[in-house]
Chain A
């Protein structure tokens, strides 16, 4: 049987919920030289609660919340679950150099600056 995509999304989401895991909101901005990844992490108290793993083309982020969150007044399934961490792994649109990556955590937003891999050559115009 073939299920519509949404059905699989729901299952993946429910499995993550059962692990107490929320997927953070994420955005990726591309500039000439780098990718800027921003991850929204309300309820994470400090950078010490966050771990980031980078490869040339993937980012994995995990963070522990200050206190577990429960949607007590919402839904029938959701209110039975306590969330205590964020977790997300995603593929980057271009290869980056993990060794030159920088990160900061401000206003509960994790910002990663990932220099693109590959050297840019400036050429002279004659």
Chain B
């Protein structure tokens, strides 16, 4: 059977029950901004990449060297998957399935999906609230113990919805942290809230000041990625997250 997505480890990954952080393109690019900040702050090493014929036909140059747009980083017991490109909806199912299968193989303690939840009044919110969800009862309890509101009902559309689905099927603990965010603008403020919430579950010596200080620079730099991501979100029916239940039982 042809594999739609492949993960290539360029360095051996030795970690005991690491947490895997996912920064994939979604609402407000919250996951991408959060994970990018964590990678920089921790000085994480690039240890692999993910490739697929389903991804856009592009390569990213960094310091003159072509690199894969979706890469894997590691620092001690933390792994991170980070995408620098918008992902077509048709690539998301095999990609997320591969990420969760690989995470299981690596014996991760949990897959963490960092994302945003679009709110129309974001302009009036100074400290975005974070909502949590999980595939396991234990993590749901920790969400509540950590003072985070639990997302009890509703749709989650996109990469993090699929990660939740595959995690449940493969019995991999999945923690979802969603910060209130501008739906269609890169939102470093929401990313800061998401990382602060994450620190309650995973010990991360990450300073948030530089993220807040670089807010405008990040918003400028992430514009085009946000534009493409918004187009893809529209195609995958992201608006369903804001609809009333189709059937309430």
Contact = CB atoms under 8 A, between A and B. Distances in A.
Interface in A1-59: 22, 25, 27, 29, 36, 38, 40, 42-43
B10 interface: no
B227 A25 contact: yes
A38 B182 CA distance: 10
A111 B182 CA distance: 13
Given A25-B226, A40-B182, A108 B216 contact: yes
What class of interface size applies to chain A in its complex with B?
10 to 19
A38 B120 CA distance: 10
Contacts of A69: 220
A94 interface: no
A106 B219 contact: no
Contacts of B185: 25, 27, 38, 40, 109
A122 interface: no
B124 interface: yes
**Dominant secondary structure of chain A at its interface with chain B:** strand
Contacts of A25: 184-185, 223, 226-227, 230
Contact of A40 (B120, B219, B221): B219
B219 A42 contact: yes
A36 B123 CA distance: 12
Contacts of B221: 71
Contacts of B219: 40, 42, 108
A109 B220 contact: no
B159 interface: no
B184 A109 contact: no
Contact of B123 (A22, A38, A43, A71): A38
Contacts of B23: none
Nearest to A25: B185
A108 B218 CA distance: 13
Interface in A51-108: 69, 71, 106-108
A109 B219 CA distance: 11
Interface in B184-202: 184-185, 189
5 contacts: A25-B185, A25-B227, A38-B185, A40-B185, A42-B220
Interface of B: 120, 123-124, 182-185, 189, 215-217, 219-221, 223, 226-227, 230
